[in-house]
A and B are shown apart, each in its own frame.
Chain A
Amino acid sequence: MALPDSPRTAVSNPPTQGFIENLGPGDVIKRSATDRLPPPQRQLTPVAKLIDVSKCIGCKACQSACIEWNDTHPEMEDNVGVYMNPHDLTPDMFTLMRFAEWDNPDTGNLEWLIRKDGCMHCSEPGCLEACPSPGAIVQYSNGIVDFNHDNCIGCGYCIKGCPFDIPRVSKTDHKAYKCTLCSDRVAVGQGPACAKACPTQAITFGTKEDMKTLAAERIVDLKSRGFENAGLYDPEGVGGTHVMYVLHHADKPHIYSGLADKPRVSPVVHAWKGVTKTAGLTAMGLAAVAALAHGLFARANKVTAEDDTHARDFLDGKEPGERP
């Protein structure tokens, strides 16, 4: 049997059989601020993390696993009356359980909607489009979007590019941070730490195809239990994502702590990095060429001997030679 090119699950212990180590430079399909990228050496099987919101119990094991694997140190914060902790995604907290209480008008039930927030690993990443630093953001052929902190300049453009409000710039080292989909684990055949830690398997990991199949089964189950609008969140507007949700109310993602209903990279960002960029740079080039051409081919505007004489005559109180 051929060796797998990406892990099929997060549940197993470290693989005992051989594994093709991946996510090297030859697996990069998009690179920030890089126009001519050499074609990837191979196509890896697309992977995805599936977060089944209906199975989440809000234990935050995923957050703990994330902190542990990535060796981050989120600040201790005060409890402000909600379970969410810390208060938001931070440069040290790449994933966050967001808790929402929703009054279902159809059933009269109060539903506790818990969504694990974090990078969605978009197929068309706005962060990568906005990033000005070559190679600070890359996308691999298996779909993972990763930040390379050696190249990050801390401008925060990724924050503006992102349609999900995910990246955070550190006040300490001035670099942007977000979920890596545990690229350093996936590269050696292991699933993401959060998925491995999840006690209910609300978080699962595998090929994107497998995850869609699993999601379809879950959606059938949820529909049979009365959640007729259950569905998969894999938004088209960003070309699909490599982190997907199973939502019991897929018709209104916004009730899950403001998940975007129709996410897409803002047209303002497209205009900034697209048409106005081309137009502006072209105009500058043309103006410079026009100035150069006029400078080379038109006569310089020089003071003539006549001007000097007239000026002197004028100062002497004489009538300078008349000019029209």
Chain B
Amino acid sequence: MSDAEPVESGDEILPGNPPRVVRYRGATRLNHWITAAAMVLLILSGVAMFWSPAFFLTALFGGGQTARFLHPWIGLILVASFALLARQFWRGNLWNRTDLDWMVHIGDLMQGREEKMPEVDKFNAGQKFVFWSMALLILAMLATGVVIWEQYFGGMTSIPIQREALLVHWLCASLIILVLIVHVYAAIWVRGSFDAMIRGWVSAGWAWRHHRLWFRRLAARSADRGDARV
């Protein structure tokens, strides 16, 4: 199974003391944080234009008019940067049988018994869930967002369609925020995860604990290449 799945080209074990494992390349990290920044700006401007107690947040964008103008453009930036991320990540996020097993044992994970979990490749089932829900929800946000983009597409659809688009845009936005809470919380709770996305590498112990299958494959690959061991 794992042999058929190409490892990320940049991922490798760096010998040394302590040994480190490269997890995300610089371009990937930059792209991830562009997506994240766009997401934060979209949530701030979007919530401001939906929930009146948060309307004051439009001041961050220079007022209601500019918030309304910028929101869809920031959305397009997010769609573009997420598309690049997805192109890189989708294969590693394909669902397999281990993921079901992992989901069944998610209670053990939350209670600190990670040793009961199946060995995980580069992404665990939770990460895959985040990836695919984000991909689907962002597509839905794009489709409905264009329909309600008054400035350029206001007259292109009927008003009943625009009403439905508004509702779906909000429903998907709330789901995205829920998924985002899961995503951010998991990154904080699993200590060392932020490091992977900031400096690009994790400790060998982290890889062993959380993504052992990935770690084993990387080790096997360096062995094949005849790399020096630590």
Q: Are A159 and B203 in contact (CB under 8 A)?
A: no
Within 8 Å by CB of A287, from B68, B178, B206, B216, lies B178
Known contacts A287-B178, A308-B203, A311-B215; is-contact A155 B150 (Cβ 8 Å): yes
Q: Are B163 and A169 in contact (CB under 8 A)?
A: no
Q: Are B18 and A316 in contact (CB under 8 A)?
A: no
Q: Any chain B CB within 8 A of the CB of A276? A: yes
> In the complex, what's the smallest C-beta–C-beta distance from B75 to chain A, in angstroms?
14
A69 CA to B166 CA in the complex, in Å? 35
A272 CA to B69 CA in the complex, in Å? 22
A319 CA to B228 CA in the complex, in Å? 18
B residues 120-178 touching A (CB-CB < 8 Å): 148, 150-151, 154, 159-160, 162-164, 166-167, 170-171, 173-174, 177-178
> In the complex, what's the smallest C-beta–C-beta distance from B2 to chain A, in angstroms?
16
A residues 274-300 touching B (CB-CB < 8 Å): 276-277, 280-281, 283-284, 287-288, 291, 294-295, 298-300
Q: Are A315 and B162 in contact (CB under 8 A)?
A: no
Find chain B residues with CB under 8 A from A151 CB: 64
For A176, give the chain B residue with the smallest CB separation.
B150
For A157, give the chain B residue with the smallest CB separation.
B166
> In the complex, what's the smallest C-beta–C-beta distance from B110 to chain A, in angstroms?
7
A174 CA to B111 CA in the complex, in Å? 53
Interface size on A, residues (CB 8 A): 55
Q: Are B174 and A283 in contact (CB under 8 A)?
A: yes
Q: Are B191 and A155 in contact (CB under 8 A)?
A: no
Q: Are B49 and A287 in contact (CB under 8 A)?
A: no
Known contacts A291-B181, A301-B114; is-contact A314 B208 (Cβ 8 Å): yes
Q: Any chain B CB within 8 A of the CB of A231? A: no
> In the complex, what's the smallest C-beta–C-beta distance from B195 to chain A, in angstroms?
11
Q: Are B110 and A317 in contact (CB under 8 A)?
A: no
Known contacts A134-B52, A316-B229; is-contact A154 B163 (Cβ 8 Å): no
Q: Any chain A CB within 8 A of the CB of B107? A: no
Q: Are B55 and A132 in contact (CB under 8 A)?
A: yes
Interface centre among A311, A315, A324 (most CB of B within 10 A): A311
Find chain A residues with CB under 8 A from B185 CB: 291, 294-295
Find chain B residues with CB under 8 A from A156 CB: 148, 150, 154
Q: Which one of A47-55, A116-124, A248-256, A263-271 is at the B interface?
A: A263-271
Q: Are A315 and B229 in contact (CB under 8 A)?
A: yes
A133 CA to B164 CA in the complex, in Å? 20
A311 CA to B214 CA in the complex, in Å? 12
Known contacts A132-B50, A300-B191; is-contact A312 B167 (Cβ 8 Å): no
> In the complex, what's the smallest C-beta–C-beta distance from A210 to chain B, in angstroms?
34
Known contacts A301-B114, A314-B208; is-contact A268 B164 (Cβ 8 Å): yes
Q: At the interface, is chain B mostly helix, strand, loop or mixed?
A: helix
Q: Are A311 and B19 in contact (CB under 8 A)?
A: yes
Q: Are A312 and B115 in contact (CB under 8 A)?
A: no
**A 121-155 to B, binary, CB cutoff 8 A, 1 in contact else 0:** 00000000000111000000000000000011111
Find chain B residues with CB under 8 A from A134 CB: 52, 55
Q: Any chain A CB within 8 A of the CB of B65? A: yes
> In the complex, what's the smallest C-beta–C-beta distance from B25 to chain A, in angstroms?
22
Q: Any chain B CB within 8 A of the CB of A21? A: no
Q: Are B115 and A280 in contact (CB under 8 A)?
A: no
- Not counting A303-B191, A311-B215, a sample of 9 additional A-B residue pairs whose C-beta atoms are within 8 angstroms of each other reads A35-B53, A153-B68, A157-B166, A165-B159, A277-B170, A284-B178, A287-B182, A291-B182, A316-B229
Residue ranges of A at the interface with B (Cβ–Cβ < 8 Å):
33-35, 132-134, 151-157, 159-160, 165, 169, 174, 266, 268-269, 271-272, 276-277, 280-281, 283-284, 287-288, 291, 294-295, 298-305, 307-312, 314-317, 320, 323-324
20 A-B residue pairs with Cβ-Cβ distance under 8 Å, sorted by A, are A132-B48, A133-B64, A151-B64, A154-B65, A159-B162, A160-B166, A169-B154, A174-B69, A268-B164, A276-B167, A280-B170, A284-B177, A287-B178, A291-B182, A298-B112, A298-B189, A303-B191, A310-B205, A316-B229, A320-B208
Residue ranges of B at the interface with A (Cβ–Cβ < 8 Å):
13, 15, 18-19, 48-53, 55, 58, 63-65, 67-69, 109-112, 114-116, 148, 150-151, 154, 159-160, 162-164, 166-167, 170-171, 173-174, 177-178, 181-182, 184-185, 188-192, 203-209, 215-216, 219, 229-230
